[in-house]
Amino acid sequence: MILEIKEKIVEKILLLIAFSSISILALIAIFIFGEGLPLIWKLGPKAFILGGRWVPSQGSFGILPMIVGSFWVTLGALLLGIPLGLACAVFLNEWTPPLAATFLRPAIQLLAAIPSVIYGFWGLVVLVPLVRNYLGGPGLSILSGSLILGFMILPTIISISEDSLRALPPTYKAGGLALGATHWQTIWRVLVPAARSGIVASIILGMGRAIGETMAMIMILGNAVKMPTSFLDSARTLTTNIGIEMGYASGDHRQALFATGIVLFFIIMILNSLAIFLSRRRTG
């Protein structure tokens, strides 16, 4: 009898605990929206999102340059990260000369584990001078940021694409080869298309990581608030806008940074939901 009551209590407590992650998510949404929405309301969503001027001291808060900055940096990162990541996933799954794989796997793990400030620092001392000397411009640029971000999102793209390639039934590969296709034809025309929902999910998650990266971008992008016109221009993203100014902002200015956070949160939640939907379909 006592045992039964104890069982019931334990079950209820576990249920309560299991809701912790979703409650944290809800709290994040409530508090960030609560802090930022009043300002969006005051300015009007259109003026905030499509406004091109960000001068906190004069009370103008338009985040279009940051949205454009985030977009270019993320696009650049994907241009590097997708081909590189897919190639590595195929390498690990299909052509695995044991010696090479023993080096590639730990390398990818370490890429995932290195703190983003280290990436930012390395970009600042190695990559930025290279870009400045050979391509011109300030060096602190979208190009430098994209290159670093491309490597930062590699682990995400590789691990999830590799999982979905590995989850394919071995008959797919056997069938392709039996039809007389070369190994590469089998990979490119059979295996990759069959694993596409997982691969797309990995790319979307990589995109989420790229949009959300803060510290490395603060150190590499130069942080100028203006519409970037070329890949060699300095830029500011949604995340770096928050990261740089949060330290000293107050009043409307602080609310505007939380409002920037709302836009970021919104984008990330859409990407997350898409990726979750795609990977559910894969397993289901």
Partner 1 sequence: MMHFRTRFITQGIAKILIWVAALSTIGVMILILFQILKEGLPVLHLRFFLDSPRSMGREGGIFSTIIGTLALTVVAIIFATPLGVGTAIFLREYTRESRISRLIRFGTDCLAGIPSIIFGLFGFVFFVITLNMGWSILSGGLTLAAMILPTIISTTEEAIKAIPYSFREVSYSLGGTRWQTVTRAVLPNAIPGIFTGIILSVGRSIGETAAVILTAGSSLIIPTSLFSPSRTMAVHFYILAREGISMEMAYGTGATLILLVLAINIVANWFLNRYIRHRA
State in angstroms the smallest separation of the CB of 98 from partner 1: 13
- For position 269 contacting partner 1 by CB under 8 A, the verdict is yes
Nearer to partner 1, 233 or 245 (CB): 245
State in angstroms the smallest separation of the CB of 229 from partner 1: 26
- For position 188 contacting partner 1 by CB under 8 A, the verdict is yes
Answer for which of 182, 189, 193, 281 binds partner 1 (CB under 8 A) is 182
- For position 130 contacting partner 1 by CB under 8 A, the verdict is no
Query: Burial letters for 62-101: b for 16+ Cβ neighbours within 10 Å, e otherwise?
Result: bbebbbbbbebbbebbbebbbebbbebbbbbbeeeeeeee
Answer for which of 50, 110, 178, 227 binds partner 1 (CB under 8 A) is 110
> For partner 1, which stretch binds (CB under 8 A), given 63-71, 171-179, 181-189, 192-200?
181-189
- 188 to 31, 139, 167, 179, 180: CA distances (angstroms): 46, 37, 16, 14, 14
> For partner 1, which stretch binds (CB under 8 A), given 43-51, 71-79, 160-168, 243-251?
243-251
Site for partner 1 in 58-87 (CB under 8 A): 83-84, 87
Structure letter (DSSP) for residue 58? G
Answer for which of 140, 143, 194, 242 binds partner 1 (CB under 8 A) is 242
Q: Distance between CA 268 and CA 263 in Å, rounded?
A: 9
Q: How many CA atoms lie within 13 A of 196 on its CB side?
A: 5
CA 19 to the chain's CA centroid: 25
Q: List 235's β-bridge partners, or say none.
A: 222
Residue 197 near residue 216 (C-beta atoms within 8 A): no
- For position 273 contacting partner 1 by CB under 8 A, the verdict is yes
Q: Distance between CA 256 and CA 36 in Å, rounded?
A: 6
Answer for which of 39, 88, 195, 235 binds partner 1 (CB under 8 A) is 88
Structure letter (DSSP) for residue 222? B
Nearer to partner 1, 62 or 206 (CB): 206
- For position 276 contacting partner 1 by CB under 8 A, the verdict is yes
Size of the site for partner 1 (CB under 8 A): 86
Residues 138-167: x where in contact with partner 1 by CB under 8 A, - otherwise, as a string: -------------x--x-------------
Q: List 55's β-bridge partners, or say none.
A: 60
